[in-house]
Amino acid sequence: MTIREQTQEIQARTLSKYASLSQNSLGRERPVEDCPLRTPYARDRDRILHCKSFRRLMHKTQVFLSPEGDHYRTRLTHTLEVSQIARTIAVALRLNEELTEAIALGHDLGHTPFGHAGERALAQVCPHGFSHAQQSVRVVERIENDGAGLNLTWEVRNGIGCHSYSNPSPEGRARTLEGRAVYFADKIAYLNHDLEDALRAKVLTQDDIPWTIKYALGRTKSQRITALITSLVENSGEDVGMDKATAEAFAQFNSFMYEAVYLNPVAKGEEGKAEEVVKSLYRHFAEHPQELPDEYQAIYEREDAARAACDYISGMSDRYAVATYERLFVPRPWEIY
């Protein structure tokens, strides 16, 4: 037996009956020879970790645009925190940790520069619409590897595409429990680390946090994350979910963050400018697709200018978007010798 086959045999014996086994995967769009060392899900995790889109997350906004300070979250640090929380849930529930990690690491690959401000801007101007979850799937299927994609398994792509459903209807939820664990891990991570960043930025104080949240979930980030994970572990089986009281406190936490941080004019004061940068870039490249880099020129030829411009801009880091905007729209002084 190969190392991979031994690993798969161990997983079949030790994981929950609700876990997704890689030997039962629905497979890839293009069949590949099995790796002798890694399971298909471990292989997907590695492909995501080594792709260009993953590295660009380092310079993409989480909530605060270009914050001054080394300790604020970026889209990359958010992704790593989601991965850690999701893996904790998966291990406790005896789900497939490799599948969980692959989904978590890939869930935000298609996120725009400037966080949700960039996402809103592209959704408004692109005729195809825009969703960062679906764009993340597009990245791994159609954009990475010069258009060849990463050729990931169906379960990983499904989990990535369903990680941010707002209406938890059956058709909108991940088909695997590992994907549903990532859905909760994403929310647990961003609510808690965005609150910590808001406190550091003095957008909020500890006194602003409703006492009901402190009472139900805890006063510190660690206490809240532990309470939420514990509820998931103790109340999941055929599905992943929390007890009613914790779920209500979690929903209240989410509402509080939207009102106090995500819609706060102090925290979001620069978003109007960010949206205009994204819209201006989109209009320019949609009207001048011949200026797109070669890999996006290929998308233009296969599909259309709107899709190519949207793919290019959504892949930009914050600073690259600003630099491109300045190059295109900000006059440069004459050089007189």
Residue 188's identity, in one-letter code, is I
Residue 87 placed within a domain? yes
Residue 335 placed within a domain? no
Q: How do residues 178-204 score in pLDDT, each as one tens digit?
A: 999 999 999 999 999 999 989 988 989
| pTM for this prediction | 0.94
Q: How do residues 78-121 score in pLDDT, each as one tens digit?
A: 999 999 999 999 999 999 999 999 999 999 999 999 988 999 99
| Rg value, the chain, Cα | 21
Instruction: State the residue for tokens 């400037």.
Output: 114
- pLDDT value of residue 270: 79
- pLDDT value of residue 168: 52
Residue 28 placed within a domain? no
- pLDDT value of residue 332: 82
- pLDDT value of residue 69: 53
List, for the chain, all residue ranges whose pLDDT scores fall below the cut of 50.
71, 167
- pLDDT value of residue 65: 60
User: What is the C-alpha separation between 261 and 214, in angstroms, rounded?
Assistant: 17
The count of domains in the chain is 1
Residue 30 placed within a domain? no
- pLDDT value of residue 172: 81
Concatenated DSSP letters of 118-178: HHHHHHHH-TT---HHHHHHHIIIIITTTTT-----HHHHHHHHTTT-SS--GGGS-SSHH
Residue 48's identity, in one-letter code, is I
CATH code assigned at 217: 1.10.3210.10
Residue 233 placed within a domain? yes
- pLDDT value of residue 63: 67
Residue 115 placed within a domain? yes
Whether 119 contacts 132, CB under 8 Å: yes
Residue 7 placed within a domain? no
Range of the domain at 274: 39-330
Residue 11 placed within a domain? no
- pLDDT value of residue 73: 79
